[in-house]
């Protein structure tokens, strides 16, 4: 085969073609010589392909220029470079329909089997995705917004970001549907498909977009709610399969599995249908690239990365909120925790240990307790525990192994001030023990203990909060490890009436005996008359009562209220103070004993308040000072002690439980190892000023 070097030919206006150089108004690239190897068969083939291309072209050309171009190609047996470029541009401008049920919907006649087939598949997709979305977003107890977990392990978080990338790569329907802005509707298609109107063309892409975006949304919900890697990809794969049903349905129809020949025939004819790229879009994007194919790919990539960026930003936001403890806001914030009456003789170690071991840095007050033989009684740390939150964000403080911790609060539900000598109890998660533990700052079991210095420990668990902790099978340290149990009750109430309950219904968090407060009382129970307690679980049938004990004179006690109809509570029970018959409404007279009757640790006590309450200028005991004493009361660290104690009772009744049980003085209680006998005990009698009973 001979090799012929050919220069581009130019029409000189005389009707003949010359090999003279063209006018110098093209770029250097078009001026360059072109060497090609051709024979007669190749030239004829190139010519036929060129004619065929022009007959089906999406790109319009001037007919005279095209004719001259072909004449030059015939004379020089050379396919002009411009023809090749035009063919490439024309091929790039063509758009083949997607092989899915939305393209079937576009081409199918109204009322045909193909039309109904495509609509049924679309309806099934949408119904499944909507039902899945409703199920995943349905409110369930104290779950956070969108039921996003409060925290996740690192491997789950990494899997979530990977799943987002996979979801965008696999879910192509959104990108494909937005190509409608690239494609020019060709009315010539109506000759072969009379029902393939412009309206159906737009509608088919709208349906494709709806299905695609809904599939991505559902997949995103599954991703952000995931708590386990395996479950994440199982659920995620199911969603992707539903989103891909439009392509699966097309494949089934194309293979003839539907049993309808017209449906199969349509899927086969779709392969030859092409549309043209929108030239208006070319004008907009023309500055970015000279190739239509590149413009189209740039558009698709832009849409792809925009969707990916939106989902990644959303996932990063979720991750940031998790790290900030935001989702713990919907978890129970307050717990009433009753600890066992077990003892640990820690303070004795303060005086026996003569070294300066780091774990035994005892203060003088602790050494004094050691001299007195006072142990740590865990029941003295019973009370309300509140989730510790960050000051600025309000999210949970996750400084303890990535989970929130709960600190003991005073009867006024304020956190106790930081005091090395009087630490409050803390419940936190210990990763080394894989369990929740109770600790007291500064109190340890021994030197170099790498166990978070736990004093009580739950069974092994991955629970994020105390809501999910078991109450049985706890371990307690008393100098040795013993079995024990902890009573845990969430105190947060919810307004059930706002969820559609009848107006007369009571909030379940208040035992149906009160309503959930608002404003400053948000999340706390406002009990009905006759009931009291943090969850309205106790009877308050006696506001004023007379007590007689051990041949002493009768004394009258009145319920102490923090404000109107809001009783002062210690350990979830009312406080009564010896009544002032002649004092002002705000103060107690000083010429009568000032004593209090309240629940301490695991039993009722009588406590002398005269040494802990301040007096006013006129010599009366200040009501505000009495309230301050109880607002900051901590059973383990009070400098004064009760003078009478009663047998243990966990009965819910407030007054009836006081009668018939044995009492003793506190000194005998300590020396007799808490044993009540006839020799050291007596009975207390009580009489209420009001004839009221609780309506249990």
pLDDT at position 401 over 70: yes
**Does 112 share its domain with 31?**
no
- Lookup: tokens for 544: 């004023």
Long-range own/partner contacts, residues 581-587 (CB < 8 A, 24 or more apart): 581/556, 583/620, 583/621, 584/620, 586/622, 586/623, 586/624, 587/616, 587/620, 587/621, 587/622, 587/623
Higher pLDDT, 109 or 686: 109
Q: Say which range, 141-150, 171-180, 283-292, has the weakest mean pLDDT.
A: 283-292
Q: Report helix angle 292-323 to 81-93, nearest 10.
A: 40
Among the three residues 459, 490, 521, which one is the final residue of a domain in this structure? 490
DSSP state of 224: H
**Rounded mean pLDDT of 478-492?**
91
Q: In 3D, which of 211, 216, 202 has the Cα closest to residue 304? A: 216
**Residue 190 included in any domain:** yes
Give the separation between CA 497 and CA 501, rounded to whole angstroms. Answer: 4
Q: What pLDDT does 638 receive?
A: 87
**Residue 586 backbone zone (phi > 0: left; psi -120 to 50: alpha; other: beta):** alpha
Helix (H, G, I), strand (E, B) or coil at 320: helix
**Residue 516 included in any domain:** no
Higher pLDDT, 401 or 408: 408
**Rounded mean pLDDT of 99-125?**
94
Give the separation between CA 279 and CA 261, rounded to whole angstroms. Answer: 37
pLDDT at position 162 over 90: yes
Give the separation between CA 639 and CA 622, rounded to whole angstroms. Answer: 20
pLDDT at position 107 over 90: yes
**Does 597 share its domain with 624?**
yes
Q: In 3D, which of 298, 273, 275 has the Cα closest to residue 285? A: 298
**Rounded mean pLDDT of 453-482?**
92
Q: Residue with structure tokens 């009492």?
A: 663
Among the three residues 75, 93, 111, which one is the final residue of a domain in this structure? 93
**Rounded mean pLDDT of 181-203?**
87
**Does 475 share its domain with 412?**
yes
pLDDT at position 37 over 60: no
pLDDT in tens, 409-423: 998 888 998 888 889
**Does 430 share its domain with 316?**
no
Type and span of the H or E element at 696: none
pLDDT at position 660 over 80: no
Confidence label for 552 from pLDDT (cuts 50, 70 and 90) = low
**Residue 643 included in any domain:** yes
**Rounded mean pLDDT of 216-220?**
94
Give the separation between CA 513 and CA 567, rounded to whole angstroms. Answer: 16
Q: Are 592 and 554 in contact (CB under 8 A)?
A: no
pLDDT in tens, 231-266: 999 988 999 899 999 999 999 999 999 888 999 999
Mean pLDDT of the chain: 78
**Does 370 share its domain with 227?**
no
Q: In 3D, which of 468, 492, 471 has the Cα closest to residue 386? A: 492
pLDDT at position 670 over 80: no
Cβ neighbours of 357 (radius 10 Å): 13
**Does 388 share its domain with 266?**
no
Among the three residues 435, 461, 490, which one is the final residue of a domain in this structure? 490
Cβ neighbours of 56 (radius 10 Å): 9
**Rounded mean pLDDT of 561-566?**
79
Give the separation between CA 341 and CA 601, rounded to whole angstroms. Answer: 8
Confidence label for 104 from pLDDT (cuts 50, 70 and 90) = very high
**Residue 515 included in any domain:** no
pTM over 0.75: no
Higher pLDDT, 298 or 491: 491
**Does 360 share its domain with 402?**
yes
Q: In 3D, which of 323, 547, 362, 332 has the Cα closest to residue 444? A: 362
**Does 475 share its domain with 341?**
yes
**Residue 585 included in any domain:** yes
pLDDT at position 95 over 60: yes
pLDDT in tens, 342-372: 999 888 887 766 545 555 667 788 888 888 8
Type and span of the H or E element at 570: strand 569-570
**Does 39 share its domain with 148?**
no
**Residue 523 included in any domain:** no
DSSP string, 667-687: HHHHHTTT---TTT-EEEEEE
Count of structural domains within the chain? 4
Q: What pLDDT does 4 receive?
A: 40
**Does 360 share its domain with 316?**
no
Give the separation between CA 578 and CA 580, rounded to whole angstroms. Answer: 7
Confidence label for 187 from pLDDT (cuts 50, 70 and 90) = confident
Range of the domain at 295: 101-323
Higher pLDDT, 441 or 554: 441
Give the separation between CA 137 and CA 147, rounded to whole angstroms. Answer: 7
Q: Report helix angle 113-137 to 261-269, nearest 10.
A: 90
Q: What pLDDT does 673 receive?
A: 67
φ and ψ at 628, to 5 degrees?
-60, -40
Q: In 3D, which of 260, 270, 261, 249 has the Cα closest to residue 124? A: 249
**Does 266 share its domain with 198?**
yes
Confidence label for 643 from pLDDT (cuts 50, 70 and 90) = confident
**Residue 205 included in any domain:** yes
Confidence label for 652 from pLDDT (cuts 50, 70 and 90) = very low
Q: Burial level of 260, CB count in 10 A (0-12/13-18/19+)?
A: middle
Helix (H, G, I), strand (E, B) or coil at 8: coil
**Does 676 share its domain with 563?**
yes
Residues 208-238 as b/e (b if ≥16 CB within 10 A, e otherwise) read bbbbbebbbebbbbbbbbbeebeebbebbee
pLDDT at position 89 over 80: no
**Residue 506 included in any domain:** no
Q: How far is CA 138 from CA 132, 216, 493, 495, in A?
A: 10, 19, 20, 18
Higher pLDDT, 557 or 251: 251
């Amino acid at each position: 085969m001979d090799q012929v070097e050919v220069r581009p030919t130019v029409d000189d206006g005389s009707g003949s073609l010359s090999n003279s150089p063209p006018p110098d108004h093209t770029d250097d690239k078009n001026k360059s010589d072109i060497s090609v190897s051709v024979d007669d068969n190749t030239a004829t083939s190139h010519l036929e392909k060129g004619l065929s291309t022009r007959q089906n072209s999406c790109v319009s050309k001037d007919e005279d220029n095209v004719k001259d171009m072909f004449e030059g190609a015939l004379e020089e047996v050379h396919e002009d470079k411009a023809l090749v470029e035009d063919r490439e541009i024309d091929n790039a401008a063509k758009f083949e329909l997607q092989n899915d049920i939305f393209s079937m919907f576009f081409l199918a006649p109204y009322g045909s089997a193909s039309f109904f087939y495509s609509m049924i598949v679309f309806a099934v997709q949408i119904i499944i995705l909507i039902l899945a979305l409703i199920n995943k977003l349905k409110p369930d107890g104290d779950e956070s917004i969108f039921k996003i977990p409060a925290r996740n392990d690192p491997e789950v978080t990494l899997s979530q970001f990977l799943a987002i990338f996979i979801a965008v790569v696999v879910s192509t329907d959104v990108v494909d549907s937005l190509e409608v802005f690239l494609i020019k509707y060709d009315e010539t298609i109506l000759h072969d498909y009379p029902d393939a109107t412009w309206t159906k063309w737009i509608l088919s892409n709208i349906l494709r977009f709806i299905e695609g975006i809904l599939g991505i949304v559902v997949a995103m919900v599954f991703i952000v709610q995931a708590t386990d890697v395996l479950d994440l990809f199982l659920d995620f794969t199911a969603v992707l399969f539903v989103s891909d049903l439009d392509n699966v349905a097309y494949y089934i129809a194309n293979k003839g599995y539907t049993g309808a020949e017209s449906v199969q025939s349509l899927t086969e004819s779709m392969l030859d249908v092409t549309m043209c790229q929108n030239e208006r879009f070319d004008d907009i994007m023309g500055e970015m690239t000279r190739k239509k194919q590149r413009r189209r790919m740039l558009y698709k990539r832009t849409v792809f990365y925009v969707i990916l960026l939106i989902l990644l930003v959303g996932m990063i936001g979720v991750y940031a909120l998790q790290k900030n403890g935001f989702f713990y806001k919907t978890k129970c914030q307050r717990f009433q925790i009753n600890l066992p009456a077990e003892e640990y003789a820690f303070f004795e170690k303060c005086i026996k240990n003569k070294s300066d071991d780091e774990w035994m840095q005892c203060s003088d007050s602790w050494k004094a307790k050691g001299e007195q033989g006072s142990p740590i009684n865990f029941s003295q740390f019973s009370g309300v525990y509140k989730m510790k939150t960050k000051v600025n964000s309000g999210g949970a403080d996750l400084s303890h192994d990535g989970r929130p911790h709960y600190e003991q609060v005073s009867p006024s539900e304020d956190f106790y001030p930081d005091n090395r000598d009087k630490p409050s109890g803390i419940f936190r998660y210990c990763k080394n023990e894989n369990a929740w533990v109770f600790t007291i700052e500064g109190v340890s079991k021994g030197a170099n203990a790498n166990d978070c210095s736990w004093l009580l420990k739950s069974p092994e668990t991955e629970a994020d909060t105390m809501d999910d902790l078991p109450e049985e099978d706890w371990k307690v340290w008393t100098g040795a490890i013993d079995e024990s149990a902890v009573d845990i009750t969430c105190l947060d109430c919810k307004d059930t009436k706002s969820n559609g309950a009848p107006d007369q219904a009571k909030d379940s968090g208040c035992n149906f005996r009160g309503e959930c407060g608002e404003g400053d009382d948000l999340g706390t129970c406002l009990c009905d008359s006759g009931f009291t307690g943090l969850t309205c679980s106790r009877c308050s049938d006696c506001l004023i009562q007379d007590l007689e004990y051990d041949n002493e004179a009768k004394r009258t006690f009145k319920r102490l209220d923090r404000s109107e109809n809001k009783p002062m509570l210690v350990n979830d029970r009312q406080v009564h103070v010896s009544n002032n018959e002649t004092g002002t409404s705000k103060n107690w007279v000083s010429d009568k004993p000032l004593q209090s009757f309240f629940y301490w640790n695991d039993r009722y006590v009588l406590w002398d308040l005269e040494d802990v309450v301040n007096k006013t200028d006129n010599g009366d005991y200040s009501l505000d000072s009495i309230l301050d004493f109880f607002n900051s009361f901590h059973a383990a660290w009070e400098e004064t002690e009760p003078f009478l104690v009663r047998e243990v009772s966990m009965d819910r009744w407030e007054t009836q439980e006081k009668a018939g049980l044995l009492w003793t003085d506190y000194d005998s209680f300590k020396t007799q190892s808490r044993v009540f006998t006839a020799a050291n005990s007596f009975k207390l009698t009580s009489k209420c000023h009001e004839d009221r009973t609780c309506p249990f």
